[in-house]
Amino acid sequence: MEPTATIFVLVYAGMLAGGLPFLQLDRAGIALLGAIGLLASGTISLDQAMHAIHVPTLLLLFSFMVIAAQLRLGGFYAWIADRIGAMNVGPHALLAALVVAVAGLAAVFSNDVVCLAVAPVWIEICERRRLDPVPFLLALACAANIGSAATLIGNPQNMLLGGALGLSFSGYLKTAAIPVLAGIGVTWLVIARIWRKRWGLPATGADATVDRHREGGDGFLDPWQAAKGLVVAATLFGLFLASDRPREILALGGAGILLLSRKLHSRDMLGQVDWQVLVLFIGLFIVNGALERTGLPREAVSALAAHGVDLRHPAVLYGVTFLLSNLVSNVPAIMLLLPAASHRDGALLALASTFAGNLLVVGSIANMIVLDAAAQRGIRISWKQHAMVGIPVTAITLGVAAATLLPGMG
């Protein structure tokens, strides 16, 4: 096996396992190490590596991380969670309000960011209201994943697809609307049915210590900082719908405006940026670009087609996207499949890879963020509990998306 293929296999084996034996490496570290190996061995030149990196995706991702940081430091996410938690309604209505709000936020500010900000606050709300936090936290993770599928800025893989395939922001929004709205309803229905009259805090959880957690430093909403972030985000959303200017340039301008602050230091803003994700993207771009230059992916696609697995067929691509997303995670899966995709496949890839994230705990970073926040506060959410919600939600949302997309694709 040639060096490029060897490094590629090792990198994606690490993506599947979440690490490499005996080494303290996560997925971002593995991707970076793979890129370094290719460059250091001379397998790929620096110019070729730079050409393989899709800069518009990185700029868009970075810009929205800065916008999300503005809102997080301004206490906006915690304030929204508190407003919902203070509603004088029963558990079913409270669950519905949480699902709708989280899905809406994730469509603009990314699923991972929303889960990171809302999960600790919501645990405290459940403790205060004497409610079992498990169904609400599962709803948070599922709704964030589903809501992020609604737009081309809701998650990293959608940003990549939008830029690489030249997808229309408004066109994709219309296509994704029905599957996403159905997913929001299904998430509420599945969780409400499973928990029914068991909303109360379990006896084992009554004595759990819940640390009070707030964002934005002093724990209260900073109206000015939150308003700045919301105005920039709303303006960008409108420009994306109405303008054909490059989304990454518009978003970068918005991020630049927010960095001009007399109160929030740029160090704090940039400290909220998830550099790990950016490193993951850069590493995978280089590794996949090097493999593409060998011609092996084209040969593999032809060999699969000869054995009846034709990735040019929408239904086959849909199924393969779902499987790969659960094996190596959605971003690496999309990078693998992009060479075989065309403009018409954009929505299919986006919805399949994002909805697949709800199937298993490891299918989405958002899931792991929520479970980690719960574990830190003595709340255990098992794989079985997640699967009871994730499997039916995934099956139904993927079914709705397939029924919406595939008939019109031939």
Q: Each residue of 277-310: pLDDT tens digit? A: 899 999 999 999 999 888 888 888 888 888 888 8
What distance in Å separates the CA atoms of residue 395 and residue 402, rounded to the nearest whole number? 10
**From 32-46, 158-172, 216-230, 339-353, the region with the lowest mean pLDDT:** 216-230
**Res 343 pLDDT > 70:** yes
248 pLDDT band, cuts 50/70/90, is: very high
Residues 6+ apart with CB under 8 A from 49: 35, 38, 39, 286, 289, 290
CA 30 to chain centre: 20
Residue whose entry in the numeric block shows the structure tokens 């737009």: 151
| 122 inside domain | yes
Residues 6+ apart with CB under 8 A from 274: 65, 112
Secondary structure (3-state) at 64: helix
Query: What pLDDT does residue 409 have?
Result: 76
The whole-number average pLDDT for the span 167-186 is 96
| 36 inside domain | no
Query: What pLDDT does residue 211 have?
Result: 45
Residues 6+ apart with CB under 8 A from 299: none
Q: Residue 230: name the closest of 374, 79, 362 by CA.
A: 79
Query: What pLDDT does residue 368 have?
Result: 86
| 68 inside domain | no
Query: What pLDDT does residue 205 have?
Result: 42
| Percent of the chain scoring above 70 in pLDDT | 95
Query: Dmax of the chain from CA atoms?
Result: 64
2: alpha, beta or left? (left if phi > 0; alpha if psi -120 to 50) = beta
Phi, psi of 146 (to 5 degrees): -65, -45
Q: Residue 241: name the closest of 174, 177, 159 by CA.
A: 174
| 100 inside domain | yes
Number of CB atoms found within 10 A of residue 301's CB = 17
| 404 inside domain | yes
Query: What pLDDT does residue 203 have?
Result: 57
Q: Which long-range contacts (CB under 8 A, 24 or more apart) does 92-96 make?
A: 92/192, 94/131, 94/136, 95/135, 95/136, 95/139, 95/188, 95/191, 95/192, 96/188
| 159 inside domain | yes
pLDDT in tens, 352-376: 999 999 998 878 888 888 998 999 8
Query: What pLDDT does residue 217 have?
Result: 40
Which residues are 236's β-sheet partners? none
Residues 6+ apart with CB under 8 A from 144: 102, 103, 105, 106, 111, 112, 114, 115, 366
| Percent of the chain scoring above 90 in pLDDT | 68
What's the number of domains the chain is made of?
Answer: 1
What distance in Å separates the CA atoms of residue 88 and residue 103, rounded to the nearest whole number? 21
Q: Judge whether 286 and 38 are in contact, CB under 8 Å.
A: yes
pLDDT in tens, 95-146: 999 999 999 999 998 888 899 889 999 999 999 999 999 999 999 999 999 9
pTM here is 0.88
Full domain range(s) for residue 116: 89-203+308-410
| 314 inside domain | yes
pLDDT in tens, 183-228: 999 999 999 999 987 888 765 543 444 444 444 443 478 999 999 9
| 180 inside domain | yes
Q: Is 263 exposed, middle or buried (0-12, 13-18, 19+ CB in 10 A)?
A: exposed
Query: What pLDDT does residue 212 have?
Result: 45
